[in-house]
Structure 1
């Protein structure tokens, strides 16, 4: 069973996902305002058990999907994490010994089925399909051998990027990665069950049904356990933190000519065992 954050009639709720809707559980657990607080309390099992045998409180179409963790302390993204992505840079350099990282803000993401926003300042809105992990057990200097035990759940991310804005400065990508509503996350959280769930699963991105990105997590230059260990060396990870683990080759900027997103497009990010994150595109 999966957990999601959603809104209805101006109220933010969280609950369990059913085939034909969602089961609001947040009214039953007022001590936990968000799924981040559920994770902090190590209570994913408790709330999922409370959903057993219940019918949806909100049918499909009667609510809006929100990003699963609306209030993370940190969203840390890993760049250039597949072999072919490193080759795309055409700089003659081998994969670096350490991973490239940058920060994103929650406001830069929308939920499942909400359109991405292309701003008037640039038409270069691009897609990047990725798997994201949610930290369940915090820590500092986490050993790589035990790092996967710190995961609470998995979700999907379209790490939307305004390409020319990542080149506005000599040493900076922040402004190209944080436009309001330029990316998406969701639709839900899939509780983490063990290493096989993340070790070698297929990740794909389609634009208007056309396959653009297709790779497997087993080919990551820096596997998830390494990401957790490395990141926790310099910052304390806390429950609810999100690590966006990297995108395969095939983003729109790498075509000749580039194939950026335009209003009316539909982007789907899919991964085995997690689901499909789907978003349209609109102009601001």
Structure 2
């Protein structure tokens, strides 16, 4: 089944949103001035509505005439889950069982670029690493959401390369914020796929490749903390609002776990792919040449 793909993109010097087709994109933002960005579309519960509108329309910008931005501009929150696959927990070699509670941290929108845009390695570190993940976007807000109701709060799915500066996550004793938030160090996209039901995410394959080589591969059915649990747990301490992004954890196989570690370098190509969502692709550049 082919699901609609809704993207935020830049064309002719303006940021817009629309429906992605094989030959280009149908602009929908011009048709809906009441919804300036996809964040407002999500809040209105109108992703499927605008997708249907665009299905029969002609392409406004052919491939090559636009560039992708992160799908949800300026989300209130981007919350990331740390260790969420069994093999990833075993990488720590600390003899501890899978955690009883999810490890969480915050990322800022500025730390991400869109599909096809270069990920930037900063001059402060060469230890730029990749982490391929499934991202969920909240559609209906709420606080203390029950697990039984959690999936009703998902608007859409996307992909994330949760790029990390490994030495900078160890600058302090209790947090990883520094190494997770360098400008343009990760990516989200290419688009949003509207969420329909649990079968869409229950057990999908998630794969990360670097220069064509498979580095990470697992299935969401093996996650330690389910999508339902993650939404319920996070909403216990903070109110989720439409457009919030939750990045749900990465499988084993990041570059830091090789001996010696294999860091990303300029010219590398990172691809994150998941069944039914798509493929997120980015090159790597040094900040000096970005």
Answer yes or no: same fold by TM over 0.5: yes
Superposition TM-score, scaled by structure 1 size: 0.99
* Equivalent in the alignment of 1:10: 13
Gaps of 5+ in 2: none
* Equivalent in the alignment of 1:22: 25
Q: Distance in 2 between matches of 1:96 and 1:246?
A: 13
Matched, 1:155 2:158: yes
* Equivalent in the alignment of 1:174: 177
Matched, 1:253 2:256: yes
Superposition TM-score, scaled by structure 2 size: 0.97
Name whichever of 40-49 and 70-79 sits farther off: 40-49
* Equivalent in the alignment of 2:93: 90
Question: Offset at 1:45?
Answer: 2.2
1:115-174 CA distance string (max 9 Å, x none): 100001100000000000000011000000110111000000000000000000111100
Q: Distance in 1 between matches of 2:186 and 2:231?
A: 23
SS of structure 1 residue aligned to 2:48: helix
* Equivalent in the alignment of 1:190: 193
Q: Distance in 2 between matches of 1:10 and 1:121?
A: 31
Question: Offset at 1:66?
Answer: 0.4
* Equivalent in the alignment of 1:73: 76
Equivalenced residues, count: 284
Q: 2:141 aligns with which of 123, 129, 138?
A: 138
Find runs of 4+ consecutive structure 1 residues off by over 3 angstroms. Answer: none
Question: Offset at 1:9?
Answer: 2.0
Q: Distance in 1 between matches of 2:87 and 2:51?
A: 39
Matched, 1:220 2:198: no
Q: Distance in 2 between matches of 1:172 and 1:139?
A: 27
Q: Distance in 1 between matches of 2:48 and 2:221?
A: 28
Matched, 1:33 2:54: no
SS of structure 1 residue aligned to 2:221: helix
Q: Distance in 2 between matches of 1:94 and 1:52?
A: 48
Q: Distance in 1 between matches of 2:35 and 2:110?
A: 21
Gaps of 5+ in 1: none
Q: Distance in 1 between matches of 2:258 and 2:52?
A: 47
Q: CA RMSD in A?
A: 0.6
